[in-house]
Structures are given as C-alpha cells and as structure tokens.
C-alpha cells in the first residue's frame, strides 16, 4: 500500500480544491487512489495546513507518487473574498494533482 512520507516543511496548503489525476495514476486500482486521497485529507485534518508537496512510496514498487497543491489556503480565501473572482474561476485555478514522480 502507498504510504505518505513525513514532510520536511510545514506549509499553508489544504488540498481541498478539485483533484486532477494523470492517466498513469488512473491505472492504479481505485482503492489505492482512495487510500492516497484519504491519507492526504487525514494529514490536513491533523495539521490544519501542510506543505504543497506530499510524497508517497510503496514498499513493493520502485516509484513515488507526488501530491501537489496549486494554491495556498490564504490566497484562495483572499481571492474569493476580496479578489473579485468567482467560485468557478477560483476552482479552475485552485486544484491539486496526483502524479508519479517520473511524470513531473
């Protein structure tokens, strides 16, 4: 099973925008993708905000998965409340992505 590595940095990201997955990630069994999503969400629940880059490893595979958030939580709130942009526009630019490290 994929396991989230401890972050070296503490950041201001919440991984709560829409999720994009690369085609290679979508080739994983759905339960593995759900496990990855749940690990990220659980980390954010525990810490509030986290680093924009989260790395997952699998003990039996020679690959890593990157979870990358594209927008700071504070920026998201500012843009929505004071930046004069719509929720739709914010959603289009405030997403997170799952990809294999060799796809980066």
Q: What is the pLDDT of residues 29-70, one digit of tens each?
A: 999 999 999 999 999 999 999 999 999 999 999 999 999 998
The sign of the dihedral angle between the CA atoms of 64, 41, 98, 95 is negative
pLDDT of residue 83: 67
pLDDT of residue 80: 73
- Please say whether the beta carbons of 76 and 94 come within 8 A: yes
pLDDT of residue 77: 75
pTM: 0.87
Mean pLDDT of 4-22: 91
């Amino acid at each position: 099973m994929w396991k989230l590595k401890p972050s070296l940095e503490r950041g201001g990201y919440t991984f709560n925008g829409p999720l994009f997955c690369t085609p290679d990630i979508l080739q994983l069994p759905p339960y593995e993708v759900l496990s990855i999503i749940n690990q990220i969400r659980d980390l954010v629940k525990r810490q509030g905000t986290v680093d924009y880059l989260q790395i997952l490893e699998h003990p039996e595979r020679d690959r890593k998965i990157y979870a990358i958030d594209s927008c700071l939580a504070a920026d998201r709130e500012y843009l929505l409340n004071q930046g004069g942009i719509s929720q739709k526009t914010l959603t289009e630019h405030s997403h997170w992505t799952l990809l294999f490290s060799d796809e980066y």
